[in-house]
Amino acid sequence: MRKITAGLFISLDGIVADPQDWHFPYYNDEMGEAVSALVAAADTLLFGRVTYDSFAGAWPEREAAGAEDAGFAKALGDLRKIVFSRRELDFTWRNSEQPHGDLVATAAALKAEPGGDISLSGSTSIVRQLLAAALIDELHLFVHPIALRGDGLRLFDEGTPIPLRLLSATPFKTGVLHLIYGPADAPGEAGYEDARAHLA
């Protein structure tokens, strides 16, 4: 079965909105390598419409420009891109398609197909739904050492708790912490009486 991975840039106070406004000062070789690895293992990308429009508005031009990021831009262009939207879409970026059906059911069917990994970058609404359905195998959070103190979109909104298991934690020289989580069983019930036995 294929693996679904999701990667998001996130502030200390949980904001994932508009990373282009606060994220780039923390982008270094370590982060570039980690982000590229998410794409390198995949042959399919999932998008919500807003994130797709952002990517499609930038990466084809960067590929055509032939600058130092053209190789990464070409890799993105060559991947299969599946875009979820409630409205009918017209595509100009190659290898893009729109499914017509339930998002969770579509993702589960894609996961059962043969092939490489399936990756998401951003697309918070898609990530939320797939987390709730326990379809994301690896959630990559690039936690930035900044509190934005605003009302921006956060990854986790109100709803049923989603238990996760920490798979790895890697600090970058910039102070960014690359956390990878996987699905976990609910932790069960406990209270202070259970916890106090562990006090020093």
* pLDDT at residue 55 in the model: 93
Q: Are 83 and 96 in contact (CB under 8 A)?
A: yes
* pLDDT at residue 70 in the model: 93
Its pTM surpasses 0.85:
yes
* pLDDT at residue 156 in the model: 87
Angle between the N-to-C axes of helices 29-40 and 70-78, in degrees from 0 to 180, rounded to the nearest 10: 20
Six-digit token string for 123: 């697309």
Measured between alpha carbons, how far apart are the two ends of the chain, in Å? 44
Q: Where are the domains of the chain?
A: 4-198
The residue type of 149 is R
HSE (side-chain half, CA atoms, 13 Å) at 180: 11
Reduced DSSP (H G I as helix, E B as strand, rest coil) percent helix, strand, coil of the chain, to 5:
35, 25, 40
* pLDDT at residue 56 in the model: 94
Q: Are 83 and 52 in contact (CB under 8 A)?
A: yes
Under CATH, what is the fold of the domain 4-198? Dihydrofolate Reductase, subunit A (3.40.430)
176-194 burial, b at 16+ Cβ within 10 Å, e below that, comes to bbbbbbeeeeeeeeeeeee
Question: 76 to each of 52, 60, 69, 71, how far by Cα in Å?
Answer: 11, 9, 11, 9
What pLDDT tens digit does each residue of the chain (200 aa) get? 899 999 999 999 999 999 999 999 999 999 999 999 998 989 999 999 999 999 999 999 999 999 999 999 999 999 999 999 999 999 999 999 999 989 999 999 999 999 999 999 889 999 999 999 999 999 999 999 999 998 889 998 777 789 999 999 999 999 999 999 999 988 888 888 888 888 87
* pLDDT at residue 111 in the model: 95
pLDDT (tens digit per residue) in 75-92? 999 999 999 999 999 999
The residue type of 108 is A
Identify any residues that bridge with 24 across adjacent strands, giving them in sequence order. none
